[in-house]
Amino acid sequence: MAVLEMENKTLELDADGFLANIDDWNEDVAKVFAKEEGIEELTEQHWTVINFMRDVFKEKGDAPSIRRLTKESGVNTKELYALFPKGPAKKAARIAGIPKPKGCI
Amino acid sequence: MAIEKVSIVVSRGSLEGVYPGLIMANGARMEGIEATLFFTFFGLDAIIKKRMDNLSVATVGNAALRLPGGMKMPTVMGAIPGMSSFVTHMMKKEMDKIDIPPVGEFIEMIHDAGGELYACKATVDMFHLGMKDFCPQVSDIISVGQFYEMSENAEIIFT
């Protein structure tokens, strides 16, 4: 089982390299994941997306679709892709500490 | 090796002919894969302003179409006036439930996500169309040669 080494503890990752337990997540974990994805600094807009994804996951058990994300979070499609250039769906979910999104849209 | 770029050809103009290409293009961008869409023949209806949100499901000659309950829809039933718009309405309703946007909104979404859209020159000439007929997200009208040039190192997907 892959793990993420943090300063004071070791966190379990799932087969996709996403956090295995959503409750292990905190802002420091997000920052470590972001660096791995090539995002040096998480801006306020990044946090808006991250928090929205976590809220939807807690409510529905899956990440929001890009459509819902852009309609309801206040971050539009262009901004979203600029924030997560390597693909917003998976990257943002990983940074947000939720499992890999299951949806197609 | 991971896929880095896709070129998707949309050649059909029915609702079920257009959506797979759009879903694949949008899905590619979601994964950080470059995506180019090339609309040809009746597929052009998906980028013609006046038609894009008015596509319908083909109910005649569609051997896989089934009635609610699972029985195959007889061809003559598919030809009943209003059947195509009824089936189209049902399908759009189901798509909305799983957050698949209407064609116009979907095209805008793909474009905003960095996907590029092109119209096929041969078809444009054949149907006497021009840039003025297309939605603003269409970058250009290109020849098949230009399409291949643009598709260097891309996976070409024909739908």
With respect to residue B131, please indicate whether it lies within any of the assigned structural domains: yes
When pLDDT is cut at 50, 70 and 90, the band that residue A7 belongs to is confident
Residue spans per domain, chain A: 1-105
Longest dimension (CA), chain A: 38
Residue A38 appears among annotated catalytic residues: no
Whole-angstrom CA distances from B109 to A36, B30, B105 are: 27, 11, 6
This prediction has a pTM of 0.93
When pLDDT is cut at 50, 70 and 90, the band that residue B113 belongs to is very high
With respect to residue B121, please indicate whether it lies within any of the assigned structural domains: yes
With respect to residue B38, please indicate whether it lies within any of the assigned structural domains: yes
User: Active-site residue among A7, A15, A41, A104?
Assistant: A104
Number of structural domains chain B divides into: 1
Superfamily holding A1-105: DsrC protein, C-terminal domain (1.10.10.370)
With respect to residue B70, please indicate whether it lies within any of the assigned structural domains: no
With respect to residue B117, please indicate whether it lies within any of the assigned structural domains: yes
Q: Indicate which CATH number applies to the domain containing B123.
A: 3.40.1260.10
Nearest chain A residue to B110 by CA: give it: A77
Task: Find the domain containing B9 and state its range.
Answer: 5-56+102-158
Contacts with B30 from chain A: Cβ below 8 Å: 66, 87-90
What is the predicted ipTM? 0.90
User: Does B141 score more than 90 pLDDT?
Assistant: yes
pLDDT single digits (tens) B30-74? 999 999 999 999 999 999 999 999 999 999 988 899 988 999 999
Distance separating alpha carbons of residues B12 and B54, to the nearest angstrom: 14
